[in-house]
Amino acid sequence: MATKETLSAQQNDSSFSDVLEELKWRGLVALSTDEAELGKALEKKVTFYCGFDPTAPSLHLGNLVQLLTMRRLQLAGHNPLALVGGATGLIGDPKPNAERTLNDKETVAQWVDKLANQTKRFLDFSGKNAAQIVNNLDWTENYNAIEFLREVGKHYRVGKMLSKDAVSARLNSDAGISYTEFSYQILQGLDFLELYRRHNCVLQTGGSDQWGNLTSGTDLIHKVEGKSVHLIATPLITNADGKKFGKSEGNAIWLDAELTSPYAMYQFWLNTDDADVIDRLKVFTFLSRQEIENYAKAVQEEPQARAAQRRLALEVTEIVHSKEEAVAAETASLALFGAGDLASLPADLLQQALIELPNAALPKGTSVVQALVATGLVDSNGAAKRAIQQGSVSVNKVKVELEDAVVDFSLPGEMAVLARGKKNLAGLFLSK
C-alpha cells in the first residue's frame, strides 16, 4: 500500500482557497451547494467528511474517487473524517432496481474494520490536519424507535423524501422500496448533523448519484441548528462511450489485493482508451497540470507509445498498493506482452498475471494442440494445427514448429505461457 512518506510527498497544485478550482480543473465537481459560499468557507481550514458503507468486504474504484478527493482536500490543509457506516451498512442505500440483501451484524462489523483499514492507505492520520475514522453506529445504536422518530424523523417531509432520485426510481420499478431503505436518507442526514455537532464538520463529499442523500444532511442541519453547511459531489465516472467506469460484465475492480491483484489493477489502467486516459490522470493521480498536459500532447502525437496509459497504470497501482507492487506488475506486463524475460518472474507474480488470462490446468505431456483448444485460443484441433502451420503459436515465447509438440511447463512454479499471435495469450498450470 502507499506509504505515509509517499502520501506526504504528493502535492496538489492548491492550498486552502484555490483547492476548489483545482477540483474543478480535475473534473471532480459535478454538483455543489452555493459555489461562492463554498469558496469562502474553503479560504480557511474546515473539517469535512465522506462516508463509506460496508456493503462488501472491500472498497472499489468508485470509492477511490472519493478517497483521492479527500486526499486532495487534506493536502490543501483541510481536516478529513472518514466515516465507515457501521449503522448504514446494516441497511444499505437504495439501489436503482432492487432491494439489497441485509447482511448479518457480525459480517458488517468485520467489513467495517476492513474498510477502516483500507482508508488508512490514502489519508494521513498524523500532523496538524490528521484524518480520523468515525463510525455512525456510535451515535445510532443507543436510539430507540420513539426517540428517533421524535428527534430526527419529525424534521423530514414525506413528499420531499419521495422526490429523491434513488427513491423515485425504486417506486417506479417492479421491486418497489421497503421502509428500511426509504429511511436511509434520514440516517445519512443524521450523520452530517452529528459530525457537525461533534467535530464542527461543515462539508460533505460524495458521488453525484448520492445527491439526494447528501442534501438530507444539509437540510437537517439548517432546520435543527439554523446553520448552512456545504456539499461537493463528484461526477459519475464514465468512459468515452458512456459506459459506467470500472465495471466489466458486473465485475468490480476492488482495492483489496486478494480480490483484485496488483497485476490486474495495473492491466486495468494500462488498457484505458486514448479518449479517456487524460481524464483518468486528472482524477486518479497527483501529477501536476504541466505533466498531464505533456501526456495529453503525447497522446495526440504518439498514441502508439501509450506513455500516458503506462504512467497512469504505474501511478494508481502504487497509490492503491505500493511502489514495489506497481513496478512488479509493470515488469510482469512487459514480460508477457513485450520483450521482458518470462523466466525471470517470481512464481507468485507469474501466477498473479496468468490468472487474469484465459487459463487451464493440464497434465504433463499435454500437446500444444490440446492446450490451444482447452484455453479457448482456438475452437478445434484442426484450427490449432493450422495455427501451428502458419507459425503463429508459441510457448514461453518460443515458436512451436511441430504439430505434435508438447507443452513445456518450465517457467517458475511449473507454468507456461501459450500464445496465438502477439496479443492472444493464455496461462497454463501443471495439474498435479
DSSP string across 182-197: HTHHHHHHHHHHHHHH
331 shares a domain with 348: no
d(CA 213, CA 225): 19
Give how many domains the chain has, as a whole number: 3
- 196 near 221, Cβ under 8 Å? yes
Residue written as cell 446553520? Answer: 227
Strand partners, 368: none
Indicate whether 307 and 395 sit together in one domain.
Answer: no
Q: How confident is the model over 22-81, as pLDDT tens digits?
A: 999 999 999 999 999 999 999 999 999 999 999 999 999 999 999 999 999 999 999 999
Taking 60 as the threshold, does the pLDDT of residue 3 lie above it? no
In this structure, the answer to whether residues 323 and 415 fall within a common structural domain is: no
Q: What is the pLDDT of residue 9?
A: 47
Band of residue 14 on the pLDDT scale cut at 50, 70, 90: low
DSSP secondary structure letter of residue 41? H
Q: What gap in Å lies between CA 150 and CA 176, rounded to an integer?
A: 26
- Taking residues 179-186, report their average pLDDT: 92
24 and 138 inside one domain: yes
Check residue 17 and give its pLDDT: 61
d(CA 101, CA 327): 39
With a CB cutoff of 8 Å and minimum separation 6, the contacts of 403 are: 369, 385, 388, 389
Say if residue 225's pLDDT is above 50.
Answer: yes
Question: In this structure, are 88 and 228 located in the same domain?
Answer: yes
- Give the CATH number, domain containing residue 367: 3.10.290.10
Specify the pLDDT at position 245.
Answer: 77
Same domain, yes or no: 351 and 427: yes
- The four Cα atoms 371, 375, 378, 379 give a dihedral, to 10 degrees, of 100
* DSSP 8-state symbol, 140: H
Whole-number average pLDDT of the chain: 92
Confidence of residue 332 (pLDDT cuts 50, 70, 90): very high
Question: By 3-state DSSP, what share of the chain in percent is helix, strand and coil, each rounded to 5?
Answer: 50, 15, 35
Which domain CATH number covers 229?
3.40.50.620
User: Could you report the per-residue pLDDT of 360-415, keeping only the tens digit for each?
Assistant: 999 999 999 999 999 999 999 999 999 999 999 999 999 999 999 999 999 999 99
Can you give the residue range of the structural domain that contains 324?
Answer: 237-340
Instruction: Name the pLDDT band for 98 (thresholds 50, 70, 90).
Output: confident
116-127 pLDDT, tens digit each: 999 999 999 999
Mean pLDDT of 143-160: 93
Residues 192 and 91 in one domain: yes
| Among candidate residues 185, 213, 236, the one where a domain is terminated | 236
**Per-residue pLDDT, 172:** 83
Question: Which of 296, 309, 318, 211 shows the shortest CA–CA distance to 25?
Answer: 296
| CATH code: domain of residue 260 | 1.10.240.10
Comparing CA positions, the residue from 34, 54, 50, 30 lying closest to residue 42 is 34
The rounded Cα 304 to chain-centroid distance in angstroms is 27
Between CA 329 and CA 289 the distance in angstroms is: 26
Mean pLDDT over 304-330 rounds to 97
More confident residue, 231 or 432: 231
- Written as one letter, the residue type at 274 is D
State which of 307, 340, 373 marks the end of a domain.
340
**196 and 300 part of one domain:** no
Whether residues 273 and 357 share a domain: the answer is no
Over pLDDT 90: what percentage of the chain? 82
Average pLDDT over residues 336-354: 94
Cell of 308: 500516458
Asked if the model's pLDDT at residue 211 lies above 90, the reply is yes
Whole-angstrom CA distances from 109 to 140, 261, 352, 402 are 15, 24, 30, 58
Let me know whether 9 and 127 are in one domain.
yes
Q: Under 8 Å CB-to-CB from 164, ≥6 apart: which residues?
A: 185, 212, 213
- Write down which residue in 291, 321, 340 finishes a domain: 340
- Is residue 271 located within the same domain as residue 244? yes
Lookup: cell for 63: 470509492
pLDDT at 133 over 70: yes
- The per-residue pLDDT for 97 is 76
Least-confidence region, from 155-159, 199-203, 220-224: 155-159
Closest Cα to residue 50, out of 200, 185, 230, 205? Answer: 205
Residue carrying C-alpha cell 425504486:
170
Residues 327 and 226 grouped into a single domain: no
Residue 1 binned pLDDT confidence (cut-offs 50, 70, 90)? very low
pLDDT given at position 360: 97
Q: How confident is the model at residue 4 (pLDDT cuts 50, 70, 90)?
A: very low
